[in-house]
Amino acid sequence: MTEGQSVSVVGLGKLGAPMVACLAEKGYSVIGVDVNQTAIDQINEGEAPVQEPGLDEMLDRNRDRIRATSDYSDAIANSDVTFIIVPTPSDADGGFSLRYVLVAIAQIGAVLRTKDHFHVVVITSTVMPGSTGGEIQAALESASGKRCGKGFGLCYSPEFIALGSVIHDMLYPDFILIGESDPTSGNVLASIYRRLCNNTPPVSHMNLVNAELAKISVNTFVTTKISYANMLSEICEHIPGADVDVVTGAIGQDSRIGKKYLKGATGYGGPCFPRDNVAFGFLANSVGATAAIAEATDVTNRKQVARLTSHLLSRLAPNATVGILGLAYKPDTNVVEESQGLALAKELLSKGFSVVLYDPLALENARQILGSQPVYAASVQDCIRQADAIVITTTCQEFQTLKPTDIAPTDSSQHKLILDCWRILDREQFAQVCEYIPLGVGSTTA
């Protein structure tokens, strides 16, 4: 593609809106498409329709290269490449639904039927292996009346990002994955990535099904690594003198293992990891294979909330109040999907504890799920003041700045308990003012 050519992005959600901003930042004219008029209006005003660090500023400074619409005819006719980033919700069996993708494909295909120029369609949404070259390609050929690789090109190219750092992850990817229907389409897409990325990541070209397998395999491997670290963390808690950070810090230096995601703490959550792991197991079963490791990973992850609860049950009175710091599934996002903090709150409430909650970004989203039963604190200090015990479930920067004086008891109160799941506080300092429990650390006395 040359300077000034246009790209369209279907879906202006958590990934689509940042992609629009990043492409415009690199000089592309970008047309966003969505059925949500509020999101369309916000994009056109230079405002972010989703919460993501840096997104508002990037959209605002590139307003002259961005516009949004609900009109597929406008977007497809006036662009050369279309990225589809719409939800693919999990079915009851664990697979991913294509219903929103196929709605977009039908609209795109209808416009391609009357378009003379070669157009590349890129599926960025996570789909089950076999979907892009199967049902999606068939639907696009039917709607357009053209042959894939002749009248249009089709690629599968998912993003490997984490909410809270989407813009950075898009601009500095570890690698680029391109599943392609034909070399021409793959090369067009690769040229976009070369311009988009601030680094020079390796680009892996392959057929569509291998790219689909690679995407789901990455997330499943990472979740396995997380659950392994959590398993090791639990073992360390039962061995005097053991410390999961010391162990993982050592073994992470082995190039066969690596340090990323090797941090014994809470279970994984969010909109991708849990469901991708389940989908991998479903995929294996559907083709007559086994995915015992993926299934064990999922089982291990589901036990993590019970593990946290057990630390509290053995130390607290039945009428105690537990404060939870961290309701988003990770820092710097308001997403509470599969959040460990939220799951812990539900578990504690079910056992009769009073619960007080705080998160700098996700408090309102948590309220929509938990309702009025918990208390919602106005600040970290407010949460601590009301609680007998505090559980820190994320590495939010605000929590890392806590000082012993924030926890120290008054003359009329007892020492509080802190369960520090990520070990973000100074152990020696906090042990002097509270019952400090670093997850993954064995007792110092035999």
272 is catalytic: yes
C-beta of residue 91 within 8 angstroms of C-beta of residue 97 = yes
**What is 323-370 written as a DSSP string?**
EEE--SSSTT----TT-HHHHHHHHHHHTT-EEEEE-TTTHHHHHHHH
Q: Read off φ and ψ for residue 58, nearest 5 degrees.
A: -70, -40
Tell the burial category of 446 from Cβ atoms under 10 Å away from its Cβ (0-12, 13-18, 19+).
Answer: exposed
Tokens representing 43? 């994009």
CA dist 35 and 12 (Å) reads: 9
Q: Are 444 and 288 in contact (CB under 8 A)?
A: no
Q: Are 55 and 83 in contact (CB under 8 A)?
A: no
Give one word for 136, left, alpha or beta, with left for phi > 0 and alpha for psi -120 to 50: alpha
- Local structure of residue 319 (DSSP, 8 states): T
CA distance 88 to 68: 22
What is the layout of strands, in order, in the sheet containing 375-376?
375-376, 354-358, 321-325, 389-392, 417-420, 435-438
Q: What is the CA radius of gyration of the chain?
A: 24
Q: What is residue 202's three-state secondary structure?
A: coil
Which residue in the list 272, 383, 396, 421 is annotated as catalytic? 272
> Would you say 75 and 82 are in contact if contact means Cβ atoms under 8 Å apart?
yes
* Residues assigned a catalytic role: 272
